[in-house]
Amino acid sequence: MQTLALVCQKGGAGKTTLAIHLAAEAAAHGLRTLLLDLDPQASAARWADRRKPGAIDVDVTVESPARLDAALLQAEREGYDLVVLDTAPHADQAALRVARLADLVLIPVRPSILDLDAMGASLDLCALARRPAVVVLNAAPIRSRVVQEAAEAVTKLGGEVMPLVIRERVALRHSLVDGRVAREFEPGGAAAAEVTALYTQTCKRANMSTRETV
């Protein structure tokens, strides 16, 4: 079993949206996937409540960071292939605990100066946890120099940037309204393609099998 954590010390970076989409993508590729909602706002859990019968089979559970060790042990006993951890936007001991238990940490960052200013705390947290971390440029403009400038800023801070950029796509947000993800909302669309590419690159970075789409 492998564990993927999404950590970001600033709200509004699209962390939960990416966590949901990556969990569903893994499930669509044949992995038994559990999304652990560690954020008190429980946005991922509310999304799961809106899921319709016949949707991609991804399990979502609300859990306390204090019980994360036990939850991961139980998930392994139940035969899960992948656990995705959606965290609260705080640079605290809970986030540090999550990072230490992850095989890979993704740090979603919008390409804006405010988000980039806050990103350092996330990188420092992962360094303290001694876990590999990759910055994902998220909700980026379709065409803008700001994306390249943001990537350069991350590199200057010593961070690793995911080659794939997630653009600002309507399908990523609108699909969540009725408990879907982009590949269910707009199959074959640009948003779904970018999520699949992000999932593939994440698997390569974590040395995790992508399996075949079901």
Domain containing 8 — which CATH number?
Answer: 3.40.50.300
b/e sequence 39-64, b meaning 16+ C-beta within 10 Å: beebbbbebbeebeeeebebbbbebe
Find, among 16, 75, 71, the residue nearest to 46 by Cα. 16
Domain, as residue range, for 68: 2-205
Decide if 75 is inside a domain. Answer: yes
Decide if 214 is inside a domain. Answer: no
Decide if 210 is inside a domain. Answer: no
pTM over 0.85: yes
Number of domains in the chain: 1
The distance in angstroms from the start CA to the end CA of the chain is 20
Q: What is the pLDDT of residue 90?
A: 73
For residue 125, pLDDT beyond 80: yes
Decide if 153 is inside a domain. Answer: yes
Find, among 57, 2, 11, the residue nearest to 30 by Cα. 57
**pLDDT > 70 fraction of the chain, expressed in percent and rounded:** 97
DSSP assignment of 106-172: EEEE-SSHHHHHHHHHHHHHHHHHT--EEEEE-SB-SS-THHHHHHHHHHHTT--B-SSPPB--HHH
Decide if 187 is inside a domain. Answer: yes
**pLDDT > 90 fraction of the chain, expressed in percent and rounded:** 81
Lowest mean pLDDT among 50-64, 87-101, 150-164: 87-101
Decide if 117 is inside a domain. Answer: yes
Q: Are 120 and 157 in contact (CB under 8 A)?
A: yes
Decide if 213 is inside a domain. Answer: no
Decide if 89 is inside a domain. Answer: yes
